[in-house]
Amino acid sequence: MDLRTALIEAIYAHPAEDPPRLVFADWLLEQGDPRGELIALQYARRAARPPIAASRREAELLEDGQRTWLEGLDAVCDGVQFERGFLARGVVRADSAALLGTASNPAWSTVETLVVQHRVGTARDTAAAALLPRLRGLRAVRVEGQLGVSGAWIEVLAPMLARLENVTLVLPGLRMRLKRQPFGGPMRLYVQLDRAWFGVAKRATDELFELLDALPPNDIANVEVADPRRHAKLTCRELRQLHALLHRFVRLERVRLPR
């Protein structure tokens, strides 16, 4: 194994740590490799607001080298963002056949935020569901899809919730966000239930109930259900069902429902 490969493998093995990346950057700069400059610029940006010239130079480096540095993921990953010299954010299609073929690519290890666009099929059978457990640096997931997928995606994500900081589901008439509280505390669940969507009001409410039933019972401390447009008033029957589901959460401290 050559030195470059060993340095990159150290980064993939410990994607959250800075020392392996800084050592790699120093070595690259010694070799005259522009990726070393990119890593140095992006670390400097994290420490202080960069001058305009540094931002322009970073953009130039990414334009020239990004496709190479994606290491084969450019065919399946859009909306990419690099941080500390490596892929940190991307957008994938859940049903992409090509995506499954990249699941063993170690370049996924540094991804911290993944956006999954789910259009057809069941969540458990998608390529994205098979990929997610392999992303050891993953901290945030956003799923954009249709009604009927939220419960299945929560089941897919459940084994990873302990290490995730944010989970967002965006569906017609329903938006859900799970956010980890500071210092590894339990999660806060915020739901926007928009019953003004024509033809999806009841389906969105049923989706909310399915979602609550799928969430792990020991990791939710706060629940808030809201509708900025004030169309989310629940019926007595729906409120009873909602309260029954909320009783599952053994660490629940606070609940706020639409009035």
- The residue ranges of DSSP E strands in the chain, in sequence order, are 78-83, 86-93, 113-117, 140-144, 166-171, 174-180, 187-193, 220-226, 254-256
Q: Which two tokens stand for residue 171?
A: 């569906």
Using pLDDT thresholds of 50, 70 and 90, give the confidence band for residue 13: very high
| pLDDT averaged over every residue in the chain | 87
Report the 10 Å Cβ neighbour count for 160. Answer: 15
- Whether the pLDDT of residue 198 is over 60: the answer is no
Predicted TM-score (pTM) of the model is: 0.88
Q: Which two tokens stand for residue 162?
A: 């302990």
Q: Is 216 helix (H, G, I), strand (E, B) or coil?
A: coil
User: Of the given ranges (55-69, 81-95, 243-257), which has the lowest mean pLDDT?
Assistant: 243-257
pLDDT (average), residues 156-163: 86
pLDDT (average), residues 111-137: 83
pLDDT single digits (tens) 203-243:
788 888 888 888 888 889 999 988 766 655 677 888 888 88
pLDDT (average), residues 125-146: 87
- Whether the pLDDT of residue 135 is over 70: the answer is yes
> Are residues 230 and 193 in contact, defined by beta-carbon separation less than 8 angstroms?
no
